[in-house]
Amino acid sequence: MQFKDVIGQSAIKQRLIQSVRENHVSHAQLFLGPAGSGKLPLALAYAQYILCPNRTETDSCGVCPTCQKVQKLVHPDLHFVMPTNTTKSVKSNPESDLFMEEWREFALKNDGYFSDNDWYAFLDIENKQGYMSVRDAASLLRKLSMKSYEGEYKIAIIWMAEKMRAETANKLLKLLEEPPEKTVFLLIAEDPEDLLATIKSRTALVKIPALDTTSIETALQQRYGCDPKQAHDAAMVSEGNWLTACQSFKDFEDHKFFFATFQQWMRLCFRGAYSELIDFSANIKTIGREKQKELLQYGLRIVRNSLLFNNNLAEIVMLPEDEKTFNSKFAPFVNPANLAQIAALFEEAIRHIERNGNAQIVFTDVGFKMVGLLKKK
Ligand SMILES: [Zn+2]
3-class state of residue 313 by DSSP? coil
**pLDDT digit string (tens) for the chain, length 377 residues:** 999 999 999 999 999 999 999 999 999 999 999 999 999 999 999 999 999 999 999 999 999 999 999 999 999 999 999 999 999 999 999 999 999 999 999 999 999 999 999 999 999 998 899 999 999 999 999 999 888 887 789 999 999 999 999 999 999 998 898 888 899 999 999 998 888 888 999 999 999 999 999 999 999 999 988 889 889 989 998 999 999 999 988 888 888 899 999 999 999 999 999 999 999 999 999 999 999 999 999 999 999 999 999 999 988 888 878 899 999 999 999 999 999 999 999 999 999 999 999 999 999 999 999 999 999 87
Burial (CB count within 10 angstroms: exposed 0-12, middle 13-18, buried 19+), residue 97: middle
Q: What is the pLDDT of residue 360?
A: 96
Q: Whose CA is closest to 202, among 229, 181, 172, 224?
A: 172
CB 41 within 8 A of CB 111: yes
Characterize the bridge pairing of strands 28-32 and 78-81. Answer: unpaired
The CATH classification number of 3-210 equals: 3.40.50.300
Q: What is the pLDDT of residue 195?
A: 87
pTM recorded for the entire structure = 0.81
Nearest-angstrom CA–CA distance, 152 and 51 = 7
Neighbour count for residue 235 (Cβ, 10 Å):
27
Q: What is the pLDDT of residue 147?
A: 83
For residue 76, how far is its CA from the centre of ligand 1 (angstroms)? Answer: 15
Q: What is the pLDDT of residue 269?
A: 97
For residue 22, how far is its CA from the centre of ligand 1 (angstroms)? Answer: 18
For residue 9, how far is its CA from the centre of ligand 1 (angstroms)? Answer: 21
Which residues surround the ion ligand 1 when the cut-off is CB under 5 Å?
52, 54, 60-61, 64, 67
Q: What is the pLDDT of residue 196?
A: 86
For residue 288, how far is its CA from the centre of ligand 1 (angstroms)? Answer: 42
Q: What is the pLDDT of residue 148?
A: 81
For residue 69, how far is its CA from the centre of ligand 1 (angstroms)? Answer: 9
Nearest-angstrom CA–CA distance, 127 and 107 = 21
CB 35 within 8 A of CB 3: no
For residue 103, how far is its CA from the centre of ligand 1 (angstroms)? Answer: 22
Could you give phi then psi for residue 80, rounded to 5 degrees? -125, 140
β-pair partners for 78? 155
3-class state of residue 366 by DSSP? helix
Q: What is the pLDDT of residue 174?
A: 87
For residue 196, how far is its CA from the centre of ligand 1 (angstroms)? Answer: 35
For residue 26, how far is its CA from the centre of ligand 1 (angstroms)? Answer: 21
For residue 61, how far is its CA from the centre of ligand 1 (angstroms)? Answer: 4
3-class state of residue 188 by DSSP? strand
- Domain ranges within the chain, ordered by starting residue: 3-210, 249-373
Neighbour count for residue 233 (Cβ, 10 Å):
18
3-class state of residue 56 by DSSP? coil
For residue 362, how far is its CA from the centre of ligand 1 (angstroms)? Answer: 56
Q: What is the pLDDT of residue 260?
A: 96
Q: Whose CA is closest to 238, among 260, 262, 213?
A: 213
For residue 16, how far is its CA from the centre of ligand 1 (angstroms)? Answer: 16
Could you give phi then psi for residue 340, rounded to 5 degrees? -60, -40
